[in-house]
């Protein structure tokens, strides 16, 4: 019921309220979490596309943003707004048309609406910095600062932004990435095992080269 539109509620008030409610209702990452070495290696692998869809990127390591972006987009659409998830270079937000104009909302962080366009980076930087300062009574952790800065960088251009069509589509990407990481992990351990086996065999007297 809380995600339903109230009688007489404007587009702006409706989208702002839902963005904050979704933000307050979800699990938030440990921003100081460090991905495993194998995840960083896979994230840097050409063609893995991990850095494009918000999962296990070397810089954006959480992966919950696409789920909450879908929730917010669906709730806003149910309330009469044209809204959809939007990928912004490793992070996923919600693009909504408020009073006929495009805005982005980030329910993962609780930021927005921010006017969407090629000149939005300054407004985004201000919005995320304000959120960072307001979200804690203590100095923010290095991980949170780094996470926020990477998100702000994602707003530098709209050229690499892309829509996300369904949650199932995103889930299939996540599953493929997990399988890819498993494959690389098994392959790496296999190479390591063969290397150790070779060292062991070379150390066995029967396998040493003998002078004639």
Q: Could you report the per-residue pLDDT of 106-164, keeping only the tens digit for each?
A: 998 888 888 887 777 777 888 888 777 776 556 777 777 777 777 777 777 676 666 66
Q: Has residue 210 got a pLDDT over 60? A: no
Full-model pTM: 0.65
Mean of the per-residue pLDDT values of the chain: 75
Question: Looking at per-residue confidence, does 144 or 196 come out higher?
Answer: 196
Q: Can you tell me the distance from the alpha carbon of 156 to that of 121, in angstroms, rounded to the nearest whole number? A: 5
pLDDT (0 to 100) of residue 23: 87
Two structure tokens written together for 187: 């392959």
pLDDT (0 to 100) of residue 30: 66
pLDDT (0 to 100) of residue 115: 85
When mean pLDDT is compared across 27-31, 77-81, 92-96, the lowest value belongs to 27-31
pLDDT (0 to 100) of residue 97: 93
Q: Can you tell me the distance from the alpha carbon of 212 to that of 204, in angstroms, rounded to the nearest whole number? A: 18
């Amino acid at each position: 019921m809380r995600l339903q539109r109230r009688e007489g509620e404007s587009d702006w008030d409706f989208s702002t309220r839902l963005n904050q409610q979704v933000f307050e209702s979800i699990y938030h990452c440990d921003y100081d979490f460090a991905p495993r070495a194998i995840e960083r290696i896979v994230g840097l692998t050409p063609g893995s596309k991990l850095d494009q869809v918000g999962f296990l990127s070397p810089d954006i390591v959480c992966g919950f943003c696409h789920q909450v972006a879908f929730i917010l987009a669906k709730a806003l659409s149910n309330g009469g707004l044209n809204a959809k998830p939007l990928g912004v270079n490793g992070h996923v937000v919600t693009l909504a048309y408020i009073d006929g104009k495009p805005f982005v909302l980030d329910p993962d962080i609780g930021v927005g609406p921010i006017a969407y366009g090629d000149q939005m980076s300054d407004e985004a930087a201000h919005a995320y910095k304000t959120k960072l300062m307001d979200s804690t009574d203590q100095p923010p952790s290095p991980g949170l600062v780094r996470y926020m800065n990477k998100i702000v960088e994602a707003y530098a251009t709209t050229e690499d932004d892309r829509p996300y069509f369904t949650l199932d589509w995103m889930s299939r990407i996540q599953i493929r990435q997990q399988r890819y990481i498993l494959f690389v992990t098994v392959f790496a351990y296999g190479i390591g095992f063969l290397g150790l086996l070779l060292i062991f065999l070379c150390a066995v007297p029967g396998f040493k080269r003998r002078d004639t």
